[in-house]
Homo-oligomer: A and B are copies of this chain.
Amino acid sequence: MSDKKIPYKIYLEESEMPKQWYNVRADMKKKPAPLLNPATKKPMTADELSHVFCDELVKQELNETDRYIDIPEEIQEFYKMYRPSPLVRAYCLEKKLDTPAKIYYKFEGNNTSGSHKLNSAIAQAYYAKKQGLKGVTTETGAGQWGTALSMACSYFDLDCKVYMVKCSYEQKPFRREVMRTYGADVTPSPSSTTEVGRKILAEFPDTNGSLGCAISEAVEAATSQEGYRYVLGSVLSQVLLHQSVIGMESKIAMDKYGIKPDIIIGCAGGGSNLGGLISPFMGEKLRGEKDYRFIAVEPASCPSLTRGVYVYDFCDTGKVCPLQKMYTLGSGFMPSANHAGGLRYHGMSSILSELYDEGLMEAVSAEQTSVFEAAQKFARVEGILPAPESSHAIKCAIDEAMKCKETGEEKTILFGLTGTGYFDMYAYGAYNDGNMSDYIPTDEELQKSFDTLPKVD
Protein backbone atom coordinates (compact mmCIF):
# COMPACT_ATOMS: atom_id res chain seq x y z
CA MET A 1 0.00 0.00 0.00
CA SER A 2 1.39 3.38 -0.89
CA ASP A 3 2.62 5.79 1.73
CA LYS A 4 0.03 8.36 0.72
CA LYS A 5 -2.78 6.19 2.01
CA ILE A 6 -1.54 5.92 5.58
CA PRO A 7 -3.69 8.14 7.80
CA TYR A 8 -2.29 10.27 10.61
CA LYS A 9 -3.93 7.99 13.10
CA ILE A 10 -4.80 4.36 12.61
CA TYR A 11 -7.66 3.14 14.78
CA LEU A 12 -8.75 -0.48 14.77
CA GLU A 13 -12.43 -1.32 14.60
CA GLU A 14 -13.82 -2.98 17.73
CA SER A 15 -14.03 -6.21 15.77
CA GLU A 16 -10.30 -6.04 14.97
CA MET A 17 -9.23 -5.60 18.59
CA PRO A 18 -7.22 -8.42 20.15
CA LYS A 19 -9.20 -10.98 22.13
CA GLN A 20 -6.12 -12.60 23.63
CA TRP A 21 -2.97 -11.46 25.34
CA TYR A 22 0.32 -12.77 24.01
CA ASN A 23 2.69 -14.51 26.42
CA VAL A 24 6.18 -14.02 25.01
CA ARG A 25 7.68 -16.54 27.44
CA ALA A 26 6.05 -19.32 25.42
CA ASP A 27 8.40 -18.48 22.54
CA MET A 28 11.54 -17.95 24.62
CA LYS A 29 13.93 -20.88 24.39
CA LYS A 30 15.58 -19.86 27.62
CA LYS A 31 12.88 -18.87 30.10
CA PRO A 32 13.33 -16.12 32.69
CA ALA A 33 14.70 -17.52 35.94
CA PRO A 34 11.99 -18.39 38.50
CA LEU A 35 11.06 -16.15 41.44
CA LEU A 36 12.73 -17.42 44.60
CA ASN A 37 11.48 -17.56 48.16
CA PRO A 38 13.76 -15.13 50.00
CA ALA A 39 13.97 -17.43 53.02
CA THR A 40 14.58 -20.79 51.35
CA LYS A 41 16.04 -19.53 48.05
CA LYS A 42 13.81 -22.14 46.37
CA PRO A 43 11.38 -21.31 43.53
CA MET A 44 8.20 -19.75 44.85
CA THR A 45 5.21 -22.07 44.62
CA ALA A 46 1.77 -20.96 43.50
CA ASP A 47 0.60 -21.47 47.05
CA GLU A 48 3.27 -19.19 48.48
CA LEU A 49 2.61 -16.50 45.87
CA SER A 50 -1.13 -16.58 46.54
CA HIS A 51 -0.64 -15.00 49.94
CA VAL A 52 0.48 -11.85 48.18
CA PHE A 53 -1.18 -11.99 44.76
CA CYS A 54 -4.62 -12.92 43.44
CA ASP A 55 -4.95 -16.58 42.47
CA GLU A 56 -5.54 -16.08 38.76
CA LEU A 57 -2.66 -13.64 38.55
CA VAL A 58 -0.37 -16.19 40.21
CA LYS A 59 -1.31 -18.65 37.46
CA GLN A 60 -0.47 -16.06 34.83
CA GLU A 61 2.79 -15.22 36.58
CA LEU A 62 3.88 -18.85 36.45
CA ASN A 63 2.56 -19.65 32.98
CA GLU A 64 5.51 -20.04 30.62
CA THR A 65 3.88 -22.29 28.07
CA ASP A 66 0.59 -20.88 26.78
CA ARG A 67 1.35 -18.53 23.91
CA TYR A 68 -2.08 -16.88 24.06
CA ILE A 69 -4.32 -16.23 27.04
CA ASP A 70 -7.94 -15.18 26.56
CA ILE A 71 -8.86 -11.69 27.66
CA PRO A 72 -12.03 -12.10 29.77
CA GLU A 73 -15.18 -10.56 28.25
CA GLU A 74 -15.51 -8.00 31.07
CA ILE A 75 -11.99 -6.74 30.44
CA GLN A 76 -12.58 -6.60 26.69
CA GLU A 77 -15.66 -4.47 27.40
CA PHE A 78 -13.66 -2.10 29.61
CA TYR A 79 -10.92 -1.91 26.98
CA LYS A 80 -13.53 -0.67 24.53
CA MET A 81 -14.05 2.42 26.69
CA TYR A 82 -10.58 3.73 25.89
CA ARG A 83 -9.05 1.38 23.36
CA PRO A 84 -7.97 0.83 20.67
CA SER A 85 -5.31 3.44 21.25
CA PRO A 86 -4.26 5.26 18.11
CA LEU A 87 -1.19 4.29 16.13
CA VAL A 88 0.01 7.66 14.92
CA ARG A 89 2.16 8.44 11.91
CA ALA A 90 4.39 11.32 13.05
CA TYR A 91 4.26 13.18 9.75
CA CYS A 92 4.89 16.55 11.43
CA LEU A 93 7.88 15.33 13.41
CA GLU A 94 9.36 13.72 10.30
CA LYS A 95 8.97 17.00 8.45
CA LYS A 96 10.50 18.99 11.32
CA LEU A 97 13.48 16.63 11.46
CA ASP A 98 13.69 16.49 7.67
CA THR A 99 14.39 12.79 7.93
CA PRO A 100 13.71 10.04 5.41
CA ALA A 101 12.73 7.81 8.36
CA LYS A 102 9.08 6.93 8.81
CA ILE A 103 8.10 7.40 12.43
CA TYR A 104 5.10 5.85 14.13
CA TYR A 105 4.05 5.95 17.74
CA LYS A 106 1.47 4.02 19.67
CA PHE A 107 -0.17 6.57 21.95
CA GLU A 108 -1.46 5.21 25.24
CA GLY A 109 -2.22 8.55 26.92
CA ASN A 110 -5.84 9.00 25.82
CA ASN A 111 -7.40 7.88 29.06
CA THR A 112 -7.72 9.57 32.43
CA SER A 113 -4.93 7.57 34.06
CA GLY A 114 -2.84 9.26 31.38
CA SER A 115 -0.90 6.17 30.43
CA HIS A 116 -0.80 2.52 29.40
CA LYS A 117 -1.08 1.45 33.06
CA LEU A 118 -4.83 1.03 32.82
CA ASN A 119 -4.36 -2.02 30.56
CA SER A 120 -3.06 -4.07 33.46
CA ALA A 121 -4.91 -2.27 36.27
CA ILE A 122 -8.29 -3.28 34.92
CA ALA A 123 -7.14 -6.89 34.52
CA GLN A 124 -5.77 -7.09 38.05
CA ALA A 125 -8.86 -5.42 39.55
CA TYR A 126 -11.07 -7.82 37.62
CA TYR A 127 -9.31 -10.90 38.97
CA ALA A 128 -9.35 -9.47 42.52
CA LYS A 129 -13.08 -8.87 42.27
CA LYS A 130 -13.66 -12.34 40.80
CA GLN A 131 -11.84 -13.83 43.77
CA GLY A 132 -14.21 -12.00 46.12
CA LEU A 133 -11.57 -9.76 47.68
CA LYS A 134 -12.38 -6.54 49.54
CA GLY A 135 -9.59 -4.55 48.02
CA VAL A 136 -6.04 -4.23 46.82
CA THR A 137 -2.92 -2.33 47.80
CA THR A 138 -0.23 -1.00 45.57
CA GLU A 139 2.63 1.41 45.10
CA THR A 140 2.88 4.20 42.57
CA GLY A 141 5.81 6.22 41.27
CA ALA A 142 4.78 8.92 38.86
CA GLY A 143 1.20 8.34 39.93
CA GLN A 144 0.10 6.87 36.64
CA TRP A 145 -0.25 3.36 37.97
CA GLY A 146 -2.04 4.53 41.12
CA THR A 147 -4.48 6.56 39.06
CA ALA A 148 -5.08 3.65 36.73
CA LEU A 149 -5.68 1.25 39.61
CA SER A 150 -8.01 3.77 41.32
CA MET A 151 -10.06 3.95 38.14
CA ALA A 152 -10.16 0.18 37.78
CA CYS A 153 -11.11 -0.37 41.44
CA SER A 154 -13.80 2.28 41.24
CA TYR A 155 -15.23 0.47 38.22
CA PHE A 156 -15.37 -2.85 40.08
CA ASP A 157 -16.22 -1.29 43.46
CA LEU A 158 -13.04 -2.49 45.18
CA ASP A 159 -11.17 -0.74 47.98
CA CYS A 160 -7.86 0.72 46.81
CA LYS A 161 -4.88 1.73 48.97
CA VAL A 162 -1.98 3.44 47.24
CA TYR A 163 1.55 4.05 48.55
CA MET A 164 2.98 6.87 46.49
CA VAL A 165 6.74 7.50 46.21
CA LYS A 166 7.34 10.59 48.35
CA CYS A 167 9.10 12.73 45.74
CA SER A 168 6.29 12.12 43.25
CA TYR A 169 3.69 12.79 45.94
CA GLU A 170 5.30 16.19 46.45
CA GLN A 171 5.99 16.95 42.80
CA LYS A 172 2.50 15.90 41.76
CA PRO A 173 -0.01 17.05 44.38
CA PHE A 174 -2.87 16.89 41.88
CA ARG A 175 -2.30 13.20 41.24
CA ARG A 176 -3.57 12.55 44.75
CA GLU A 177 -6.81 14.36 43.98
CA VAL A 178 -7.39 12.35 40.84
CA MET A 179 -6.95 9.15 42.84
CA ARG A 180 -9.24 10.46 45.57
CA THR A 181 -11.83 11.43 42.98
CA TYR A 182 -11.83 7.74 42.05
CA GLY A 183 -12.15 6.84 45.72
CA ALA A 184 -8.60 5.68 46.61
CA ASP A 185 -6.58 6.23 49.82
CA VAL A 186 -3.16 7.69 49.05
CA THR A 187 -0.18 7.66 51.45
CA PRO A 188 3.27 9.13 50.73
CA SER A 189 6.01 6.50 51.02
CA PRO A 190 8.00 5.78 53.08
CA SER A 191 5.34 6.30 55.75
CA SER A 192 4.92 5.51 59.40
CA THR A 193 1.84 3.39 58.66
CA THR A 194 3.87 0.21 58.10
CA GLU A 195 6.67 -1.52 59.95
CA VAL A 196 8.91 -1.51 56.90
CA GLY A 197 8.18 2.16 56.28
CA ARG A 198 9.13 3.09 59.83
CA LYS A 199 12.35 1.10 59.47
CA ILE A 200 13.33 2.83 56.22
CA LEU A 201 12.49 6.25 57.68
CA ALA A 202 14.66 5.53 60.71
CA GLU A 203 17.59 4.62 58.49
CA PHE A 204 17.09 7.31 55.80
CA PRO A 205 15.04 10.12 57.35
CA ASP A 206 15.56 12.43 54.36
CA THR A 207 14.80 9.89 51.65
CA ASN A 208 12.80 10.92 48.58
CA GLY A 209 11.38 7.45 48.56
CA SER A 210 11.61 4.92 45.76
CA LEU A 211 9.38 2.40 44.09
CA GLY A 212 11.26 -0.26 46.02
CA CYS A 213 10.20 1.27 49.37
CA ALA A 214 6.64 1.81 48.31
CA ILE A 215 6.34 -1.79 47.13
CA SER A 216 7.46 -3.05 50.55
CA GLU A 217 4.86 -0.94 52.30
CA ALA A 218 2.05 -1.97 49.95
CA VAL A 219 2.92 -5.66 50.33
CA GLU A 220 2.89 -5.35 54.10
CA ALA A 221 -0.45 -3.52 54.00
CA ALA A 222 -1.95 -6.28 51.84
CA THR A 223 -0.67 -9.27 53.78
CA SER A 224 -1.60 -7.81 57.17
CA GLN A 225 -5.29 -7.38 56.30
CA GLU A 226 -8.01 -9.96 55.61
CA GLY A 227 -9.42 -9.88 52.08
CA TYR A 228 -6.64 -7.84 50.49
CA ARG A 229 -3.98 -8.66 47.95
CA TYR A 230 -1.10 -6.71 46.56
CA VAL A 231 -1.02 -5.68 42.91
CA LEU A 232 1.96 -4.35 40.99
CA GLY A 233 1.99 -2.06 37.97
CA SER A 234 5.15 -3.28 36.27
CA VAL A 235 8.14 -5.66 36.46
CA LEU A 236 6.08 -8.85 36.84
CA SER A 237 5.53 -11.15 33.89
CA GLN A 238 1.73 -11.00 34.38
CA VAL A 239 1.88 -7.22 33.81
CA LEU A 240 3.87 -7.62 30.61
CA LEU A 241 1.25 -10.16 29.56
CA HIS A 242 -1.60 -7.65 29.99
CA GLN A 243 0.41 -4.91 28.33
CA SER A 244 0.89 -7.11 25.27
CA VAL A 245 -2.40 -5.58 24.15
CA ILE A 246 -0.31 -2.55 23.11
CA GLY A 247 1.92 -4.60 20.86
CA MET A 248 -0.93 -6.74 19.55
CA GLU A 249 -2.93 -3.69 18.48
CA SER A 250 0.18 -2.09 16.97
CA LYS A 251 0.96 -5.20 15.00
CA ILE A 252 -2.59 -5.67 13.74
CA ALA A 253 -2.69 -2.02 12.63
CA MET A 254 0.72 -2.17 10.95
CA ASP A 255 -0.02 -5.47 9.23
CA LYS A 256 -3.27 -3.99 7.94
CA TYR A 257 -1.33 -1.26 6.18
CA GLY A 258 1.61 -3.42 5.21
CA ILE A 259 4.06 -1.58 7.45
CA LYS A 260 7.03 -3.40 8.97
CA PRO A 261 8.96 -1.50 11.63
CA ASP A 262 12.76 -1.81 11.50
CA ILE A 263 13.32 -0.43 14.99
CA ILE A 264 10.97 -0.60 17.98
CA ILE A 265 11.70 1.71 20.90
CA GLY A 266 10.25 2.04 24.38
CA CYS A 267 11.13 3.67 27.66
CA ALA A 268 11.96 1.23 30.42
CA GLY A 269 11.40 1.57 34.16
CA GLY A 270 10.10 -1.80 35.31
CA GLY A 271 9.59 -2.73 31.68
CA SER A 272 5.84 -3.18 31.33
CA ASN A 273 5.17 -0.82 28.46
CA LEU A 274 8.29 -1.79 26.57
CA GLY A 275 7.61 -5.47 27.14
CA GLY A 276 4.00 -5.07 26.09
CA LEU A 277 4.87 -3.11 22.98
CA ILE A 278 7.60 -5.40 21.70
CA SER A 279 6.16 -8.78 22.75
CA PRO A 280 4.39 -9.89 19.57
CA PHE A 281 7.22 -8.57 17.40
CA MET A 282 9.77 -10.27 19.64
CA GLY A 283 7.74 -13.47 19.24
CA GLU A 284 8.31 -13.31 15.49
CA LYS A 285 12.00 -12.73 16.05
CA LEU A 286 12.24 -15.61 18.52
CA ARG A 287 10.45 -17.91 16.10
CA GLY A 288 12.82 -16.81 13.33
CA GLU A 289 10.03 -15.36 11.20
CA LYS A 290 11.09 -11.73 11.06
CA ASP A 291 13.86 -9.56 12.39
CA TYR A 292 13.58 -6.32 14.32
CA ARG A 293 15.85 -4.09 16.40
CA PHE A 294 14.47 -3.41 19.87
CA ILE A 295 15.79 -0.56 21.99
CA ALA A 296 15.06 0.03 25.68
CA VAL A 297 15.63 3.61 26.85
CA GLU A 298 16.26 4.26 30.52
CA PRO A 299 17.18 7.39 32.48
CA ALA A 300 20.92 7.92 33.00
CA SER A 301 20.03 8.50 36.66
CA CYS A 302 18.63 4.98 37.10
CA PRO A 303 20.37 2.82 34.49
CA SER A 304 19.51 -0.76 35.43
CA LEU A 305 20.09 -2.36 32.01
CA THR A 306 23.06 -0.31 30.86
CA ARG A 307 24.98 -0.25 34.15
CA GLY A 308 23.34 -2.84 36.36
CA VAL A 309 24.22 -6.48 36.96
CA TYR A 310 22.16 -9.56 35.99
CA VAL A 311 21.65 -11.39 39.26
CA TYR A 312 18.98 -12.36 41.77
CA ASP A 313 17.81 -9.38 43.79
CA PHE A 314 14.90 -8.22 45.89
CA CYS A 315 12.12 -6.40 44.05
CA ASP A 316 11.65 -4.06 46.99
CA THR A 317 13.76 -2.12 49.45
CA GLY A 318 12.22 -3.80 52.48
CA LYS A 319 13.15 -7.25 51.14
CA VAL A 320 9.69 -8.69 51.78
CA CYS A 321 9.09 -9.68 48.15
CA PRO A 322 10.36 -12.76 46.29
CA LEU A 323 13.83 -12.64 44.76
CA GLN A 324 13.88 -12.12 41.02
CA LYS A 325 16.75 -12.61 38.59
CA MET A 326 17.04 -9.35 36.70
CA TYR A 327 19.26 -6.51 35.67
CA THR A 328 19.44 -4.47 38.85
CA LEU A 329 21.22 -1.59 40.54
CA GLY A 330 20.60 -3.26 43.89
CA SER A 331 17.40 -2.96 45.91
CA GLY A 332 19.18 -0.52 48.20
CA PHE A 333 19.81 1.89 45.33
CA MET A 334 18.10 5.21 46.04
CA PRO A 335 17.67 7.02 42.75
CA SER A 336 17.89 10.80 42.65
CA ALA A 337 14.64 12.76 42.49
CA ASN A 338 14.58 12.38 38.74
CA HIS A 339 11.34 13.76 37.41
CA ALA A 340 10.58 10.64 35.41
CA GLY A 341 9.09 9.08 38.55
CA GLY A 342 7.85 6.05 36.68
CA LEU A 343 11.37 5.07 35.69
CA ARG A 344 12.91 5.31 39.15
CA TYR A 345 13.08 1.57 39.75
CA HIS A 346 16.25 -0.29 40.60
CA GLY A 347 15.42 -3.44 38.63
CA MET A 348 13.91 -4.62 35.39
CA SER A 349 11.34 -7.16 34.24
CA SER A 350 12.85 -10.66 34.29
CA ILE A 351 11.60 -11.26 30.75
CA LEU A 352 13.28 -8.16 29.38
CA SER A 353 16.40 -8.84 31.43
CA GLU A 354 16.73 -12.26 29.85
CA LEU A 355 16.06 -10.98 26.33
CA TYR A 356 18.64 -8.25 26.84
CA ASP A 357 21.15 -10.68 28.25
CA GLU A 358 20.76 -12.90 25.18
CA GLY A 359 21.40 -9.90 22.91
CA LEU A 360 17.89 -9.92 21.50
CA MET A 361 17.28 -6.36 22.67
CA GLU A 362 19.52 -3.29 23.00
CA ALA A 363 19.49 -0.63 25.70
CA VAL A 364 20.58 3.01 25.91
CA SER A 365 20.33 5.63 28.63
CA ALA A 366 19.43 9.30 28.32
CA GLU A 367 20.00 12.33 30.51
CA GLN A 368 17.00 14.26 31.72
CA THR A 369 17.67 17.60 30.04
CA SER A 370 18.09 16.00 26.63
CA VAL A 371 14.87 14.09 27.24
CA PHE A 372 12.89 17.26 27.94
CA GLU A 373 14.45 18.90 24.91
CA ALA A 374 13.09 16.04 22.81
CA ALA A 375 9.75 16.27 24.62
CA GLN A 376 9.37 19.94 23.83
CA LYS A 377 10.38 19.46 20.20
CA PHE A 378 7.83 16.67 19.89
CA ALA A 379 5.06 18.61 21.67
CA ARG A 380 5.44 21.64 19.45
CA VAL A 381 4.94 19.73 16.22
CA GLU A 382 2.85 16.71 17.19
CA GLY A 383 0.60 18.55 19.63
CA ILE A 384 0.71 15.96 22.39
CA LEU A 385 2.42 16.95 25.66
CA PRO A 386 4.33 13.78 26.54
CA ALA A 387 5.10 12.38 29.98
CA PRO A 388 8.77 12.58 30.95
CA GLU A 389 8.90 8.77 31.00
CA SER A 390 7.56 8.50 27.47
CA SER A 391 9.91 11.23 26.34
CA HIS A 392 12.87 8.90 26.81
CA ALA A 393 11.51 6.94 23.87
CA ILE A 394 10.96 10.14 21.88
CA LYS A 395 14.58 11.14 22.46
CA CYS A 396 15.84 7.81 21.14
CA ALA A 397 13.41 7.81 18.19
CA ILE A 398 14.63 11.27 17.18
CA ASP A 399 18.25 10.12 17.50
CA GLU A 400 17.57 7.13 15.25
CA ALA A 401 15.67 9.29 12.76
CA MET A 402 18.61 11.71 12.62
CA LYS A 403 20.96 8.80 11.90
CA CYS A 404 18.69 7.97 8.97
CA LYS A 405 19.03 11.55 7.80
CA GLU A 406 22.81 11.14 7.76
CA THR A 407 22.77 7.81 5.95
CA GLY A 408 19.71 8.49 3.82
CA GLU A 409 18.08 5.27 4.98
CA GLU A 410 14.27 5.18 4.99
CA LYS A 411 13.91 3.14 8.14
CA THR A 412 10.57 2.65 9.81
CA ILE A 413 10.64 3.47 13.50
CA LEU A 414 7.91 2.56 15.97
CA PHE A 415 8.00 3.89 19.50
CA GLY A 416 5.70 3.68 22.48
CA LEU A 417 4.29 7.00 23.65
CA THR A 418 3.10 5.74 26.98
CA GLY A 419 1.42 8.79 28.41
CA THR A 420 0.80 12.47 28.86
CA GLY A 421 2.67 14.98 30.99
CA TYR A 422 -0.23 16.98 32.44
CA PHE A 423 0.90 16.15 35.96
CA ASP A 424 4.55 16.83 35.25
CA MET A 425 4.39 20.58 34.93
CA TYR A 426 6.82 21.19 37.79
CA ALA A 427 9.38 19.33 35.74
CA TYR A 428 8.46 21.16 32.55
CA GLY A 429 8.63 24.39 34.55
CA ALA A 430 12.17 23.55 35.70
CA TYR A 431 13.11 22.83 32.09
CA ASN A 432 11.43 26.04 30.84
CA ASP A 433 13.34 28.02 33.50
CA GLY A 434 16.67 26.35 32.62
CA ASN A 435 16.82 24.89 36.13
CA MET A 436 16.80 21.22 35.27
CA SER A 437 19.73 19.19 36.55
CA ASP A 438 21.17 15.97 35.24
CA TYR A 439 22.37 13.32 37.61
CA ILE A 440 24.38 10.25 36.83
CA PRO A 441 25.35 7.89 39.63
CA THR A 442 29.08 7.32 40.00
CA ASP A 443 30.67 3.88 39.66
CA GLU A 444 31.41 4.02 43.38
CA GLU A 445 27.78 4.63 44.28
CA LEU A 446 26.70 1.72 42.13
CA GLN A 447 29.40 -0.55 43.52
CA LYS A 448 28.30 0.29 47.05
CA SER A 449 24.78 -0.74 46.12
CA PHE A 450 25.95 -3.92 44.35
CA ASP A 451 27.81 -4.91 47.51
CA THR A 452 24.47 -5.28 49.29
CA LEU A 453 23.02 -7.72 46.75
CA PRO A 454 21.74 -10.99 48.23
CA LYS A 455 23.88 -14.10 47.77
CA VAL A 456 22.15 -16.74 45.68
CA ASP A 457 23.98 -19.80 44.30
Interface positions of A (Cβ within 8 A of B): 7-9, 11, 13-14, 80-82, 92, 110-112, 114, 118, 151, 154-155, 173-174, 177-178, 180-183, 376, 379-385, 420, 422-423, 425-426, 428-429, 431-432
Contacts and interface: CB of A to CB of B under 8 A. Distances in A.
Given A81-B92, A154-B380, A174-B174, 11 more contacts: A8-B81, A9-B81, A11-B11, A112-B384, A112-B385, A174-B426, A174-B429, A177-B432, A178-B422, A178-B425, A180-B432
Nearest to A181: B428
A110 B109 CA distance: 9
A174 B425 contact: yes
Nearest to A80: B8
Contacts of A382: 81
Given A420-B112, A422-B422, A423-B422, A380 B177 contact: no
22 contacts: A9-B81, A81-B383, A82-B383, A92-B155, A112-B383, A118-B383, A155-B380, A174-B426, A174-B429, A177-B432, A178-B385, A178-B422, A178-B425, A180-B428, A180-B432, A181-B376, A181-B428, A182-B379, A182-B380, A183-B380, A422-B422, A422-B423
Contacts of A383: 81-82, 111-112, 118, 151, 155
Given A155-B381, A383-B151, A178 B428 contact: yes
A122 to B, nearest CB: 10
A92 to B, nearest CB: 7
A66 B346 CA distance: 63
A432 to B, nearest CB: 5
Contacts of A114: 422
A382 B11 CA distance: 20
Given A7-B80, A180-B432, A379 B112 contact: yes
Secondary structure at the A interface, as helix, strand, loop or mixed, is helix
B80 A181 contact: no
A180 B435 CA distance: 14
Contacts of A155: 92, 380-381, 383
Given A155-B381, A181-B379, A385-B181, A174 B92 contact: no
A108 to B, nearest CB: 12
A138 B388 CA distance: 29
Contacts of A13: 7
Contact of A177 (B8, B151, B173, B425): B425
Contacts of A181: 376, 379, 385, 428, 431-432
A111 B111 CA distance: 11
A203 B18 CA distance: 63
A428 B380 contact: no
A121 to B, nearest CB: 11
**Most chain-B Cβ atoms within 10 A of its Cβ — which of A173, A183, A382, A432?**
A432
